[in-house]
Structure 1
Amino acid sequence: MHLQIGDRWIGRNHKPFVIAEMSGNHNQSLERALQIVEAAAKAGADALKLQTYTADTMTLDIHEGDFFIEDPNSLWKGNSLYSLYQEAYTPWEWHKPIFDRAAELGMLAFSTPFDETAVDFLESLNVPAYKIASFENTDIQLIRKVAATGKPLIISTGMASIAELDETVRAAREAGCKDLVLLKCTSTYPATPENTNIMTIPHLEQLFGCSVGISDHTMGVGVSVAAVALGAVVIEKHFTLRRSDGGVDSAFSLEPEELAALVTESERAWQSLGQITYGATEREKPSLKHRRSLYISKDLNKGDILTKDNIKAIRPGLGLPTKYLDELLGRAVSKDVTKGTPLTWEVI
């Protein structure tokens, strides 16, 4: 299974496709947003991703009750949903300059739409792909709208049951989606490794017959790198210039040095997978001579008996394998031999 987004190929035979998610880390500054684009490109990300919504397309302008965040464990405690989205949203007029800067730097750019008007807007910018967020993965109408564009579709699977994912995948494919990627996602912010369950990745691939990846909200790069070993071909991470600058998603976002490490280490993980193999590889064959083998460790005359005092199992590996030691003890040498002679059947 493989697919193409822009000029990048995605699949098991290609290095992991790394997406830097800006989200609201621009802190309402276009200049900072463009700096984030530049830092992501410099770090080696394949794509920069935005989120396309307004506070009004996300929720109602109500600041109490169900619309107010009181969860003591939430990063956003004390905010209404409406005020949070007002702070986090990326102005729609910024999308084109952000996308243009990414293109100039050789990086793809696309977005997550949160309603149908966002899809229409992103289509006007000719984005190469779409992403559906975990909280919208059961919004069948939105998924059908996006799938109908015919462009590659990446869907985060956070919180979704198998039954819900089945409905989502069926809806996407029936509406015209041919290139689908499902991302294992844990919808906590930040997520902990213990709550990430990346063993689900190969199961997703098996269940739905599509490419898989990870949308990783844990700190650091270890979980994403490990996911590559389980078949992840796409890695999405939130990205900022510095967590200390603050912002709605900064607490669980990578900094530029970390993103560069993720790009490097995920590619190394992919390169290391190879295939099932035993024995010496072509490059290992020269190292075989450095195995241990049996050597004469003292000068001997013809007829002398081999003992543990005059045979040693040492490097290099040009003598008989050490497994023959017990069989050789007590036998006589057939000729004079000097210390450092590899033990072979010819001298017995």
Structure 2
Amino acid sequence: MSSVIHIGQRAIGANHAPFIIAEMSGNHNQSLERALEIVDAAAVAGAHALKLQTYTADTITLNVRNKDFLIDDKKSLWDGSNLHELYQKAYTPWEWHQPIMERAQQHGMVCFSSPFDETAVDFLESLNVPAYKIASFENNHLPLIEKVAKTGKPMIISTGMATISDIEEAVKTARNAGCKDLILLKCTSTYPALPTNTNVLTIPHLKQMFDCQIGLSDHTMGVGVSVAAVAHGATVIEKHFTLNRSDGGVDSAFSLEPDELKSLVVETERAWLSLGQVWYGPTEAEQKSLMFRRSVYFAEDIQAGEVLTAKNLRVVRPGFGLHPRFYQSLLGKRARNNIEKGTPVVWELIE
């Protein structure tokens, strides 16, 4: 496994802050002007990458209305549409890709895409994208994975709905076709997803099973689940992004707004910074605080030869005297000389 993967100029790995991907998806609402505003807002919020989706309704499905192609789910955001209608609303026109990518590059932000068929890979290669993402619904599209792998560029695969054997097959296909830099994203393919069905404990298990970097494609509301994922080793976080959920759009209901994306960038980096290493005892930063620990002090003025008792010895702050573990053994001993109240107890003062 490559310990560090580079997408554009950005390094991704355990020793780097989480790589934050803002997924535009169909939140441009079929307006290039809005799409460019989304790029600008993502950059201001601190996202490291903007991601597109590259397909047309015809490259992803058939325009028929039999029951197989109708969305019949009252809980779905897209209930009543057929798949072709949904993807006509959601797709990003291919002629928009270049201006969107150029705008992202102007901000110093990486821009890449999820191809949904082989023609999309050819198109994205013509734009020299720095990486590819395989969406959860495509993680069983082995010919697509193979074609992407042959580009030699980093590949990110979402694992929504995939069994261990499904993931193993996808990973094997990618690696056998030449993929060296692979990242898997834990994903729950419900929209929105709930924290209770996100199962971030899968992240370290995936890392162990497939010996690659693991991230999270997060469809939950807020940033808490992403922070938890980073705490369990995620190096990449992908979140859908929009200017304002109230503007509507195919993915708006579970997308972050600009202030939330900024919070995601800040809080996931804080979570990463907090990981550190296994450590016990005072850190370097805590050295000055050691004085505030308890130790044994003389609580009264004491004459030479006087017996030490619970009245004239106390365990108090600060911590310059003997450790409290010695308190019981000090009781009944005698002072070696005259001692002033507030003096730390040290062995040299005890007979």
Q: 2:249 aligns with which of 220, 225, 247?
A: 247
Amino acid in structure 1 at the alignment position of 2:338: D
Count of matched residue positions in the alignment of Structure 1 and Structure 2: 348
Q: 2:270 aligns with which of 268, 271, 277?
A: 268
Q: TM-score, normalised by structure 1?
A: 0.98
Write out the 4+ residue segments of structure 1 that deviate beyond 2 Å after TM superposition.
none
Q: CA deviation at 1:286?
A: 2.1
Matches of 2:315 and 2:243 in 1, distance apart? Answer: 57
Q: CA deviation at 1:296?
A: 1.0
Q: 1:306 aligns with which of 299, 302, 308?
A: 308
Matches of 1:150 and 1:53 in 2, distance apart? Answer: 21
Matches of 2:315 and 2:77 in 1, distance apart? Answer: 63
> What are the Cα deviations for residues 240-273 of structure 1, in whole angstroms up to 9, with x where unaligned?
1111111110111111111111111111111111
- The equivalent of 2:337 in structure 1 is 335
Q: CA deviation at 1:96?
A: 0.6
| Larger CA deviation: 69-78 vs 94-103 | 69-78
- The equivalent of 1:119 in structure 2 is 121
- The equivalent of 1:69 in structure 2 is 71
> What are the Cα deviations for residues 156-184 of structure 1, in whole angstroms up to 9, with x where unaligned?
00011111111111111111111100000
Amino acid in structure 2 at the alignment position of 1:192: L
Amino acid in structure 2 at the alignment position of 1:76: W
Amino acid in structure 1 at the alignment position of 2:114: T
Amino acid in structure 2 at the alignment position of 1:130: Y
SS in 1 for 2:253: helix
Matches of 1:313 and 1:72 in 2, distance apart? Answer: 67
- The equivalent of 1:155 in structure 2 is 157
Matches of 1:35 and 1:318 in 2, distance apart? Answer: 60
Q: Describe how 1:96-135 pairs up with structure 2 within 5 A.
A: 96-135=98-137
Matches of 1:259 and 1:305 in 2, distance apart? Answer: 66
> What are the Cα deviations for residues 53-82 of structure 1, in whole angstroms up to 9, with x where unaligned?
111111111234221111122111121111
- The equivalent of 1:26 in structure 2 is 28
SS in 1 for 2:284: coil
Q: TM-score, normalised by structure 2?
A: 0.97
Q: Percent identity over the alignment?
A: 67
Amino acid in structure 2 at the alignment position of 1:85: Y
Q: CA deviation at 1:207?
A: 1.2
Matches of 1:24 and 1:241 in 2, distance apart? Answer: 12
Amino acid in structure 1 at the alignment position of 2:157: I
Unmatched segments (≥5 aa) in structure 1: none
SS in 1 for 2:285: coil
Q: CA deviation at 1:277?
A: 1.7
SS in 2 for 1:67: coil
Q: 2:201 aligns with which of 199, 202, 208?
A: 199
Matches of 2:260 and 2:309 in 1, distance apart? Answer: 59
Matches of 2:132 and 2:202 in 1, distance apart? Answer: 23
- The equivalent of 2:166 in structure 1 is 164
| Larger CA deviation: 88-97 vs 282-291 | 282-291
